[in-house]
Structure 1
């Protein structure tokens, strides 16, 4: 057999059996869809008897034509079916229900076409069933393409609306309008966290593209952070980290400290997922106060990094003195000049920093610097001679700490 014109069932051509009954078959298919697939029973009558009916009619005619083309509809017809599937996706009809609907339609066609089959028609029955399977394969691919296109479009629109929301929150603007476009409800507060990630070992592997490794690291950070929160974590990526807006149900000052403690615990999982050290500056703010909180969290992070603090989470209270001293002004400039006599004496400046960081422990300082403890004593004595400030005298310690912080804020020690 080379074509459906010679395919006879009960002495009648298969295509003739089907093509003359398109209206009745359409009603039957719609009835089957409503009875067997509940999602179609819930569609508005106007939609069911309008666009869905038109799609059923087109599909029935395509099936009849497919009997002459070995089950493959032409490309234009497949494109139409993909577009129709995209509309169903937009209306919220699940993908599997649309595929099931086409199977139900083909079943109705096969039942009708083969109802009068006789023993001598077995070859035609096999051919029709084979064509039906090929037809359904092409239809399923078209439907999948339609849903995939809708998903890509929807994801792009969602990403764009969320980007608009996070930019509006951080930079200022009509946050309520932006939240509405994103389909999101603004929370009572946000944990505004600015993250800086250290290098992953892959970034220094000569066989791996360091940019790809870095991007993949940042993606893992975002995904792991989001995994721990039910609500959407808004994210602004950066070269070495990013800024996260984490929604919380409490207003600033109520129980936000518990949320910060929780975030600190979560950071352990984030660090393991990233395979790198993580420093975080955090602040809590209402949605309208996010711009200031975003700035503050960045500043807190910068101070923690500048001071060489270990990886972890930092609030303003954790670096409040250093943060205040890092603000430009006459006071900071004056503090910085107190250590000007150490310019050109890098060993003295380094020893002073380590000595203060170690809690004035000369042996620990010596071990860190790989020198003898007596060398530490001699250097600290020399610092006192040059600056007039004694690191072993309690009343001079605050001034030395402040002076070091002021110099770090610039380009000094």
Structure 2
């Protein structure tokens, strides 16, 4: 190596040593500055509490032990820990244990995460102002070093607090979802659900609108993703998650759901039945796969009636799907004839009640009977009733308007004929 190179290397090493010595001097200065603040820990904690009171909504209404013991104790711990680490004390993950425990508690108590994180930022402000007040002329480099140290520490603390809060919140939500599923399962199987609901703080509606959802997935050419999971199954699960999320905001109380990848049951308060068109639009606007959703709906007369309504909702959804009806929410009246012809005994009364609007118009019932008995021949019907054929047409038109049935279609005629037969049979 040449002499000039040796000199350059020596100068470089000397410069590096000088920088390291300067940095060490700044750290010692910062440690001394932080040490001068340690005697003020209790005072700073009180100041922190006063600032909480000023900026955090309802801080004064918090339980006394939470506010004056837990939060004050955590504040003292956080301030003391920062000052000690700034003075050179080693750090470890265990230093964040108390912060994680408090975050889990706050999540369980329902304190907002934003409120919780605000307390740590307020604490950082209080500490920084104390450091600035304690700094002497010439200690500006130490303040800059402490600012960097504080930002790194605050970042690690916020991450630890957020992770612990979210983990606890996820556990709470999973437990709550399981509780709602347990209540739904009890209602659907005819068990007494009131005790389960009361134990979990769930208010039961006096009656329900029971939905049965069918998600008719069609695998796109048998394609799979990952470990052989069909893409259609992924779409179905994604759709049902969206269904659950949308329905949770549809009524004032969360729905009781028992869903899997192919569908399942949803129990809404009976008041939801007043918004059936809106419910249908909600399910139809969910996203990929939503065009495949068909829902059967049945109303209960109480909580003990849920199993019967659930069975009816299943049959309605199956009929709507098998007869090629478009996506939507269907009740018994929407599939009444198909439902009855499928051999279901519980539809007879509803089908016969189709003619209730004609109870005050016996001449319309008589005309409808005669029209069907004479093979839809209006002239023979008019002769049998001793009226003009135009009268028959007028009466049939009025009957169709009152019933909401088109008597010029095969389905409308079959519906009326079946209802008339059931009425004749009592």
How does the TM-score come out when normalised to structure 1?
A: 0.67
Map of 1:68-147 to 2, 5 A cutoff?
68=87, 73-147=91-165
Cα deviations by residue, 1:99-153 (Å, 9 ceiling, x for unpaired)? 2222222322232233143331111111111111112111111211221122112
CA change 1:66–1:3 in 2 (3 A) is farther
Secondary structure, aligned partner of 2:133: coil
Asked if the contact 2:319–2:339 (Cα under 8 Å) also holds between the matched residues in 1, the reply is: yes
Q: How does 1:6-405 map to 2 (within 5 A)?
A: 6-7=28-29, 13-68=32-87, 73-200=91-218, 202=220, 204-205=222-223, 209-226=231-248, 228-249=250-271, 256=273, 258-269=274-285, 274-285=289-300, 286-307=302-323, 311-320=327-336, 322-324=338-340, 326-327=342-343
Q: Which runs of 5+ in 2 are unaligned?
A: 1-22, 346-409, 419-426
| Residue in 2 that maps onto 1:341 | none
Q: How far, CA to CA, are the matches of 1:228 and 1:273 in structure 2? A: 20
- Name the counterpart of 1:357: none
Q: CA deviation at 1:19?
A: 2.1
Change (3 A) 1:206 1:215: same
Distance across 2 between alignment mates of 1:318 and 1:328: 15
Cα root mean square deviation, aligned? 3.4
Distance change (3 Å), C-alpha of 1:42 and 1:209: same
In structure 1, runs of 5+ residues without a counterpart are 251-255, 330-393, 403-413
Structure with more of its chain in helix, by fraction: 2
- Alignment partners' CA distance in 2, 1:63 and 1:7: 16
Distance 1:90 1:299, change over 3 A: same
**Aligned pairs, number:** 323
Shift of 1:324: 4.7
Q: Normalized against structure 2, the TM-score is what?
A: 0.65
Question: After superposition, what is the alpha-carbon deviation per residue over 1:229-259, rounded to whole angstroms, capped at 9, x for unaligned?
Answer: 4542322224432222122338xxxxx5x44
Structure 1 residues 131 and 190, CA, compared in 2 at 3 Å: closer, same or farther?
same
Q: Which structure's CA Rg is the greater one?
A: 2
